[in-house]
Structure 1
Amino acid sequence: MALTFATSQKIFAALCGLVLLATVHVIMVKTVSHQTKAVILRGEFVLGMETILVFMSLMIWRTFLPFLKPFSKPNSSVMGPTSKTNGCTYVETFQDLNFGHNFQAQNRKINHVKERFSFLQLILLSYLILCHMSYLTNIFFISKEPHWFAMLAYICLGSYIQLSTSIVIVRILSFFVSLISHSVPPTRKGSGKKLTVIIAVIYTLIATLFGIYTASQPPAVRQVRIPVKDLPNNLEGLSIVQISDIHLGPTVGFTKLNMIVDIVNKENPDLVLLTGDLVDGRVESLRRAAEPLSRVVSKYGNFFVTGNHEYYTGDVDNWFNYLKSLGFTPLHNSNVKIPVKVSGDEGQLCLAGTDDIQADTVGYIGHGFDIASAVKGCAKDQPIVLMAHQPKAAKMALDSNYRVDLVLSGHTHGGQIFPMIVGAYLLNPFYLGLYKYGQDGSHVYVCEGTQYWGIPMRIGTSTEITHITLAKASL
């Protein structure tokens, strides 16, 4: 009973601590500036992320440690045969038996093995530390181009996720095999543990190299044709290029954005739409990295809406001003008519954009998801194309009482790497690609992401620039 009571006390204390932290969080978020809120949220994210990583690191360390230790005990190499005299056991050293020279050499070899294994332990520890430091590079290593340390840390984090996943999968499979065969799980045996390590290392190396290669390739241009109800004749075949989730920051910089702009311009678009998560830092840090956007050319203009990562920077208003200077118009719960001027029997569509729903969570003053304001002034007979970063926002818009014919979103990255693909699929109402929604012929398109967040890898997904062609919907 004492143990049970002590355990209940610990659980109660933990719950009280969580309540206290939640109360402090609410008070602080309601009383501080949005810049400070952004810092608090990033701090909370780091704390949560590091907590998960600690458990994963312990699992990796315990899995690998038995294979990074010397096989001999410290003094075993200098001990000789034993003899008994008058019931007492004596240990004779090899030096006493005049074999000193040979066994000293053997001793040096074993000491060398010990040093080598100690070095491997240090390598593993350094690797784990790099993984834990990855997110901190978002603060200290952001400039025009990616920093080598940031790239190394995030590559380690990506391989770390693959390593942890493979270990867990092998252990689960071993457990089910043991249930079927009614035997001890192979992963509890020495040979089974060794096999787990071998499989995990081989898989991690292959997945990491493949992921780095895939992410390093130029984004593919994906051609999509979408029917839109009431599309005017003069807008039949309207060309829209969508880019999303570029994530300028510690591992994406000027050179990659410059390449993206070249690809966009080759498509000769009527509209260029950037559907959020352009940056992972403040304007003062990424001003030069974002400069290539000034070269984007389109017939009717370039437009931008915020993603959740813009609000994490705490610098959205400054980004709005800077993007305007680069030729991009932020749609801040607002809309524009495309084309702006018409004559005769020509028609228009209404291009609208909403703030990301994360603005509401952050409590960013003057920002928030507002579909009513976004479509205000759009004529009832005009088709409405809405830019909304998250698929959850897309569903909220489509379920509202307002007309929305097409929503362009991003955010999911398709999960970016395995096993996060599973989470992205389960947590979003629309995962990636084109969806038809409702009875009125509305559509949602979710871009897989033009680059990547942090980890410079793509495993099971790819980067894309989406070239959308609008067509009249058949009756």
Structure 2
Amino acid sequence: MLQTPALIMASYASLSLILPLKIRLFYKILGVGIIFLCALKYHFYARMGGILSPDLPSWLIVIMEAAFGSLIIGSFICLIKDLLFVLLFILRKCSLIKLKPKLFKLNVCVIIFALIFGFYGTCMQFFTPHINHETIEIKNLDKDFDGFKIAQLSDLHVGPLLKHEFMQKVVAAVNNEEVDLTVITGDLVDGRVEKLINEFRSLKDIKSPYGVLAVTGNHEYYSGSFAWIKALENFNVRFLQNEHVNLHKGNGTLTVGGINDGRSYGNELDKVFADAGKHTRVFLAHKPKDGVKAVDADLILTGHTHGGTMLFAGPLVADYNDGFVSGRYELENRVMYVSNGTGIWSGFSCRFLVPPEITIFTLKKA
């Protein structure tokens, strides 16, 4: 399924960037060959252990991901370039302008730009994610929870590329914010427990007094969700499986509920806040389309979309997620936040103007 769009992009990039140039046939064949080699990433992954967790050296995956990211960025820029060329052609025919850009220089600039941002967008996943602060005002918040801080991690995707060193940076960043509670909204992992569990050992070092609460994502389903839930409990992570917990501070209560990703166990929304009482409610879900159903929650935290990964892909990703893709959405009597993701899936790991994030929410009484 993923390979077909990649081949379409490669065909278009070849037609736009390489074939129109007045260069020797050998160089045209070479250029087209390189473009299609970039597009065959998923084909190689499928033959080397699978798309989810290919059995390849990390450095080779980074190169393949960067090359594929460059192809996507380059194809988008080509679309803009070609539309401008059509507009210029019409304007010249109407004798309105005489401008005729040099195709060779322009195409070389497109290739260089795409390569730079393709490699940068892929390598940035190894940096400490951006810290984003959000203040959430809630009318019925108990005064003892005024100023309560929640750190949201989402879409960590620990696996072929992101490992223990990345988790150490994330944990250090969370601890530096001195939060009260840490939540993880799904897609923690890409791979099996026996291969990757040791990469999560830093989770034990998170210093949030009210612990670490999590929900499953679709990648837990792919990786063996039953085994992962059991294994991560040893690192002080509690999964909310269509249920809630009540947190107490002074005389106040905060209810945090979480829903399973539908592919993992089946999500049962009506069970999450059953007998929860009329306290402030925070709802955790992996997918925005599951989160938006929680009409009785005050704050809804989700992920899954990676913020669209690339800025120009945002509208397409939003279309598959009920219109939600990144950031804060003010809904009727509630707020929903869709994280850009703290990590990134190694099968589509180039970000373009959509930085990874750790989000810190400060609850305030309205």
For the aligned pair, the TM-score class normalised by the smaller chain equals 0.7 to 0.9
Aligned-residue offset at 1:139: 3.3
Aligned-residue offset at 1:461: 1.4
**Matching residue within 107, 110, 132 for 1:197:** 107
Aligned-residue offset at 1:201: 0.8
2:90 is matched with 179
Matches within 5 A, 1:328-339: 328-339=237-248
Q: Which amino acid aligns with 2:7?
A: V
Aligned-residue offset at 1:336: 0.6
Per the alignment, in what secondary structure is the counterpart of residue 396 of structure 1?
Answer: coil
- Percentage of pairs with the same residue: 29
2:80 is matched with 169
Aligned-residue offset at 1:157: 1.2
Alignment of 1:409 with 2:323, yes or no, is: no
**Matching residue within 257, 282, 297 for 1:385:** 282
Give yes or no for contact 2:151–2:183 (8 Å, CA) kept in 1: yes
Alignment of 1:372 with 2:264, yes or no, is: no
Q: Which amino acid aligns with 2:6?
A: L
1:76 is matched with none
Give yes or no for contact 1:134–1:153 (8 Å, CA) kept in 2: no
Aligned-residue offset at 1:193: 4.9
Aligned-residue offset at 1:55: 1.7
Per the alignment, in what secondary structure is the counterpart of residue 467 of structure 1?
Answer: strand
Per the alignment, in what secondary structure is the counterpart of residue 266 of structure 2?
Answer: coil
Aligned pairs, number: 356
1:350 is matched with 255
Aligned-residue offset at 1:309: 2.1
5+ unaligned residues in a row in structure 1: which ranges?
1-47, 72-113, 184-188
Flag the 1:248–1:125 CA change in 2: closer, same or farther, 3 A.
same
Give yes or no for contact 2:7–2:39 (8 Å, CA) kept in 1: no
Measure the CA separation in 2 of the matches of 1:320 and 1:391. 22
2:225 is matched with 316
Per the alignment, in what secondary structure is the counterpart of residue 175 of structure 1?
Answer: helix
When normalised by structure 2's length, the TM-score is: 0.87
Aligned-residue offset at 1:205: 2.6
Aligned-residue offset at 1:263: 1.1
Aligned-residue offset at 1:282: 2.1
CA deviations 1:228-274 (Å, max 9, x no partner) are 23222222211111111111122211211111011112222211100
5+ unaligned residues in a row in structure 2: which ranges?
95-99
Measure the CA separation in 2 of the matches of 1:235 and 1:172. 54
Aligned-residue offset at 1:316: 0.7
Task: Tell me which protein shows more helix as a share of its residues.
Answer: 1
**Matching residue within 307, 318, 323 for 2:217:** 307
- Between structure 1 and structure 2, the one with the greater Rg is 1
Alignment of 1:451 with 2:360, yes or no, is: no
Q: Which amino acid aligns with 2:327?
A: G
Aligned-residue offset at 1:51: 1.2
Measure the CA separation in 2 of the matches of 1:330 and 1:433. 24
Aligned-residue offset at 1:394: 1.8
Per the alignment, in what secondary structure is the counterpart of residue 151 of structure 2?
Answer: strand
Q: Which amino acid aligns with 1:353?
A: G
Give yes or no for contact 1:131–1:153 (8 Å, CA) kept in 2: no
2:236 is matched with 327
Measure the CA separation in 2 of the matches of 1:132 and 1:176. 37
1:139 is matched with 53
Flag the 1:173–1:427 CA change in 2: closer, same or farther, 3 A.
farther
- Report which structure shows greater RCO (CA 8 Å, sep ≥6): 2
- What value does the CA root-mean-square deviation take over the aligned residues? 2.8
Give yes or no for contact 1:230–1:382 (8 Å, CA) kept in 2: yes
CA deviations 1:10-58 (Å, max 9, x no partner) are xxxxxxxxxxxxxxxxxxxxxxxxxxxxxxxxxxxxxx11111122222
Measure the CA separation in 1 of the matches of 2:31 and 2:68. 19
Alignment of 1:269 with 2:179, yes or no, is: yes
2:97 is matched with none
Aligned-residue offset at 1:337: 0.6
1:24 is matched with none
Measure the CA separation in 1 of the matches of 2:134 and 2:32. 51
2:196 is matched with 286
When normalised by structure 1's length, the TM-score is: 0.68
Give yes or no for contact 1:134–1:157 (8 Å, CA) kept in 2: no
